[in-house]
Structure 1
Amino acid sequence: MRAYLELSHGLHPAEWSSRHARGEVPDHWPYGLDRLANHGVQPIMRIPASSRVATRIGRAARHRLGGYEWVDAFRRTTGDVIFCWDEYSGVPAALRERRKPVITGVVWLTDEVDKTTAWFAKRALPRAARVWASSSAMIPRLERDWGVSKAHHIPLGIDVDFFTARPKTEESLVVSAGNDRHRDHHLLIRAVNKVPGARLEIATRLPIPQDYARTGLNEGQVRDLYQRASVIAIATTPNVHASGLTVTLEGMASGRPVVIPDTPGLTDYVENERTGLIYPAGDEDALAKCVHRLITDEDMAKELGAAARRKVEQHFSTELQAARLAELMLTI
């Protein structure tokens, strides 16, 4: 089987591979999708339009028509199946295709979206051959609210060769990262400030006090930040798309104990007291206590970090993710 991969955000396979060779990003292709070739699926990546005119038109279309990738969506395709990582390329593909099955991931739709975004999605998703999400909490909502006949939970994967376990280089350093609207970095700052001796660094573009912000980092530099840290901690507002999931898995793959809120979907990946600590979402004091436990109990932190690394290797690598996605395609 040949799968034509349609990705959003202008991701280009050759440019990504060059960045990977320089140590800036994980995997040879975005999301490790080149690994589909190891599981009976030949991946063919769509090359995004790069002219100034196409870029300008695409930006205007995204702004006015729900954030979707309309310009690239209507170019000629090849392959036996169309695969889209998220709804921003998946919705246009499902509306366009009449002959080839479309498989699309969904990342954001089950949390707040505007009316235009929702209008297109409700017409497109029921037409897709398969719809999948990395948060199990999204599955019933996709079926109930978006007309998907049967949605599939496919766990997210991380490049375990890019993110590796190494001894920490700084004591009492808490690290976080992320830019989506459900991050609650301010709660995290308040919680860590309650922990004696703890310091906090957050890789983000969101507006937070400059004392904590680390901006402009590529993923290789964020990886280095994890490897300096004692703890990886995340705070979010309520959501079901598992905000903070990528950072959680990257921290686990780096052999660090993680502290996460008990939001649906995110807890698919962390076992409380075994691979990390889980606290009630929004509970500042509980978050502070979890961070304090891991900073003051070195043995516990090492044990949880090592178990977290093993968990990712055994269940949440991009190789395993590719195998699961290939199976989804091959069953059409």
Structure 2
Amino acid sequence: MRAYLELSHGLHPAEWSIRHARGEVPDHWPYGLDRMVNHGVQPIMRIPARGRVVERIGRAARHRLGGYEWADAFRRNTGDVILCWDEYSGVPAALRERRKPVITGVVWLTDEVDRTTAWFAKRALPRAARVWASSSAMIPRLERDWGVRKAQHIPLGIDVDFFQARPRTEEGLVVSAGNDRHRDHGTLIRAVTKVPGARLEIATRLPIPQRFARIGLNEGQIRDLYHRASVVAIATTPNVHASGLTVTLEAMASGRPVVIPDTPGLTDYVENERTGLVYPVGDEDALAKCVQRLLGDDAMAEEMGRAARRKVEQHFSTELQAARLAELIRTT
């Protein structure tokens, strides 16, 4: 079986592979989707259209029509099924396609989307053959609020060869990363400031005080940031799409204990007191206490980091994610 992959953000497989060879990004293809070939599905990635005019049209369409990838939506495709990573390519594909099944992931729709984005999604998603999400908390909402008939939880996977466990190189360093609108870096900064001897670095483009910000890092450089850290901590506002999930799994794969908020979906991936610590979302003092516990107990932090690495290897690798997606395609 052949799956035609439609990805957002102009991702190009050849360019990605070159960056992977330079150590800048994980996996040979984005999200490890090339690994589906190991599980009975031949992936064929859409090559994004390039050129000044096309890019200008694409930007205008995204701005006016809900953020979706309309510019490439009506190009001829090959394969037996259309697989889209998220709703920004999946919604146009579901509205367009009449002959082939469309399977799409959904990342953001359950948390605060604008009216135009919602209008298209409510018409497209019920037409999709299957819809999946990395956050289990999204599944009932997709069915209840968005008319999805066949929604499934597919756990996110991380490249465990790219992100490997290494001994930490700095004491007292707390690291975080992320750019989405549900990140609460302000709470994280205030919490870590309360911990004696702790220092904080955050890889983000969001506006935070310059002394904490690390801007313009590629994935390879963020991986190095994890290796320097004693603890990786995340703060978010309430959400159900598991904001912070990618960073959580990258840190776990790097052998670091994580501190996460108890948001639905995110807690599917972290075992409290075993692979990390979980605190009530928005509770600055509880977050500070979790960080302080890990910085003050090297043996506990190291054991949690080892357990976190094993958890990712056994349940959350991109190889396992590819196998689950291939099974989803074969059974559609």
Q: Map 1:243-322; keep pairs closer than 5 Å.
A: 243-322=243-322
Task: State the partner residue of 2:122.
Answer: 122
Partners of 1:114 and 1:297 in 2: how far apart? 45
Partners of 2:55 and 2:323 in 1: how far apart? 33
CA contact (8 A) 2:179 2:204 kept: yes
Partners of 1:210 and 1:56 in 2: how far apart? 33
Task: State the partner residue of 2:202.
Answer: 202
User: Percent identical across equivalent pairs?
Assistant: 88
Task: State the partner residue of 1:3.
Answer: 3
Task: State the partner residue of 2:239.
Answer: 239
1:150 Cα deviation from its structure 2 partner? 2.0
Q: What amino acid sits opposite 2:14 in the alignment?
A: A
Query: What stretches of structure 1 move > 2 A for 4+ residues in a row?
Result: none
**Aligned residues, how many?**
332
1:135 Cα deviation from its structure 2 partner? 0.1
Task: State the partner residue of 1:57.
Answer: 57
CA contact (8 A) 2:129 2:150 kept: no
Q: TM-score, normalised by structure 2?
A: 1.00
Q: What amino acid sits opposite 1:118 in the alignment?
A: A
Task: State the partner residue of 2:93.
Answer: 93
CA contact (8 A) 2:17 2:28 kept: yes
Task: For residues 239-289 of structure 1, give each alpha carbon's deviation from its aligned partner in whole angstroms, at most 9, with x where no partner exists.
Answer: 000000000000000000000000000000000000000000000000000
Q: What amino acid sits opposite 1:62 in the alignment?
A: R
Which SS does the other structure have where 2:31 is aligned?
Answer: helix
Task: For residues 13-44 of structure 1, give each alpha carbon's deviation from its aligned partner in whole angstroms, at most 9, with x where no partner exists.
Answer: 00000000000000000000000000000000
Q: Map 1:156-235; keep pairs closer than 5 Å.
A: 156-235=156-235
CA contact (8 A) 2:158 2:316 kept: yes
Task: State the partner residue of 2:83.
Answer: 83
Partners of 1:52 and 1:317 in 2: how far apart? 37
1:316 Cα deviation from its structure 2 partner? 0.1
Query: What runs of 5+ residues in structure 1 fail to find an aligned partner?
Result: none
Query: What runs of 5+ residues in structure 2 fail to find an aligned partner?
Result: none
Task: State the partner residue of 2:68.
Answer: 68
Question: How large is the RMSD of aligned CA atoms in angstroms?
Answer: 0.3
Which SS does the other structure have where 2:14 is aligned?
Answer: helix
Q: What amino acid sits opposite 1:177 in the alignment?
A: A
1:216 Cα deviation from its structure 2 partner? 0.3
CA contact (8 A) 2:67 2:117 kept: yes
Partners of 2:13 and 2:208 in 1: how far apart? 33
CA contact (8 A) 2:86 2:105 kept: yes
1:220 Cα deviation from its structure 2 partner? 0.2
